[in-house]
Amino acid sequence: MTHLRCKGLGLILGLAASVWAAEPDFGPNVLVFKPSLSAAAIQEQINKVYAIQQNNQFGPARNALLFAPGEYKVDVPIGYYTQVLGLGASPDNVHITGNVHSDATLPNNNATCTFWKSAEGFSVTPANGSMQWAVSQAAPFRRMHIRGDIVLHQKGGWASGGWMSDDLIDGNVGSGPQQQWIARNTEWGGWTGSNWNMVFVGDVNAPEGEWPKPAYSKVAKAPVVREKPFLQVDAVGKYSVQVPSVRMNSSGITWHGGQTPGNSIPIDKFYIARADKDTTATMNAELAKGKNLLLTPGIYNLTDTIKVTKANTVVLGLGFATLEADNGVTAMTTADADGIVIAGLFFDAGPVSSPVMLEVGPSGSKARHAANPITLSDDFFRVGGAAVGKAAVNLRINSNDTILDHTWIWRADHGQNQSVGWTVNTSANGLVVNGNDVTVYGLFVEHTQQYQVLWNGNGGRVYFYQSEVPYDPPDQPSYTSAPGTNGWASYKVADNVTSHEAWGLGIYSVFRRPNVVLTRAIEAPNNPNVKFHDMITVCLANNGAIENVINDTGGATTPNHIAQAPRVTKFP
């Protein structure tokens, strides 16, 4: 593990200590900026981080850039594995005048591989009136106030995003060529653009028009949601983590009154973990004592399972803190207990196959948590890419009433170190849901080798689904789920399920070998209480096809005929 130690960091922390004597030890990969520092000094440190992270798609560096309340005039480019976080109770407590931007990393302004970065909890006055946020998957944009416009692409280049929630954009959101997007509980002056699958849940001033042209799926209120916890600091330098309250049937942002309503947990109730010092044993010991867990940026090599056993425990990662599951272990499990929050973590499979990387509640969980649900926010999963990885299941949810708020589960389709191949980075399922009444916003699952999503519980709700089926089946016999059924449906609702509902589903194929097809993108019981709204399939390559959208409905994709992509508005 290589830790970033920027020149001048000691000066920054020394200046901070003269004002805030009780600065927590966040380790070498967290930079805390305060308005007392010169813009030049802050800019120097930002630039050094970006120089490492700009093209660091599979590198080991992890960073968090934290801005204390105040005014700043800087340029903030955000690279891979970088979280930029405002420390105010309200996003308006931290104000950056200048460019905060995510840039495309491929030629021709292509942002389809622009992953693993975030902007959270501050306000921006863009230097030219418009902020550029060209991103694809796993790029949280939360609790932001943009005092101008924002575009979700770079100069009209392709992108495959994305996510925003609890944001206020004073001007217009220009989605441009974004393939798909979900906006939850967000407000804006206007929204322009659509492509394949744009989903709006609990938004104020959602754009006019209805699926399929334009491709807008609109749900007026988010039925149940808890915003992601966030680190904050007050005027005398006391840190805490704000855990937002659960909201029912909500629309718009949480922070119109300033502070997001919820419970503030002092930082001394957290164990602050560091990848260069901590092991599974040290973290489990603190969790067992009743501490919450704050994981600072880094790669944590786990040879045992982190066990979250107590109700209302908060596990919060900064800077894409990465849990690598070594020796075939399960990286993390939770009890079937009220109010557990797991947020901001990056789960990376190791070379020995794990049965599951994150398991929420043990098998057979029965408790109900509707009043105080378990919540997962901005938790991301990767199998292969940086190194050989294997996991049978990435995320399994056994607990009832769980909320999953934004995830990207990715079996890598490209990478380094010979880490990608049909028999190299193996993974059967992305998400398996066994609990009842599980609610998911922003579900991105890609390339696993059997069902990307397997839903066994009743009462499930999904708002937005994006999936590419695996690129690399070597032949049809290797990709056959049953006699007469080619491949595995991307989204499978089990035959015994009696109630389920999903809105806005886009499923795409990019088969690299000829003569490989998928019989259907979605499989579900023929039951009037199993409902789907607004579905599309697209074939993005010269090979293969998806023969139906859902069950035997929708018709087939054909290679390179994107404009004729099959669309189904309602099923059954």
- List the catalytic residues: 468
Residue 42 host element (H or E): helix 39-53
Selection from 26, 28, 131 nearest residue 76 by Cα = 131
348 vs 325: CA distance, rounded Å: 6
* Nearest-angstrom CA–CA distance, 370 and 359: 19
Is the peptide bond prior to 212 cis by the omega test (within 30 degrees of 0)?
yes
Helix (H) or strand (E) holding 287: helix 280-288
Amino acid identity of 405? D
Whole-angstrom distance, CA of residue 282 vs CA of residue 271: 10
Cβ atoms within 10 Å, residue 245: 12
Do residues 76 and 95 lie in contact, with contact meaning Cβ atoms separated by under 8 Å?
A: no
Phi and psi, residue 327, nearest 5°: 60, 25
Orientation angle between helical segments 39-53 and 9-19, nearest 10 degrees: 130
Q: Measuring CA to CA, which residue among 311, 324, 321, 323 is closest to residue 344?
A: 321
- 8's CB contacts (< 8 A; 6+ apart) are 41, 44, 45
553 is written with which tokens?
């409905």
Q: Which helix (H) or strand (E) holds 17?
A: helix 9-19
Q: Could you tell me the two tokens for 256?
A: 């119109």
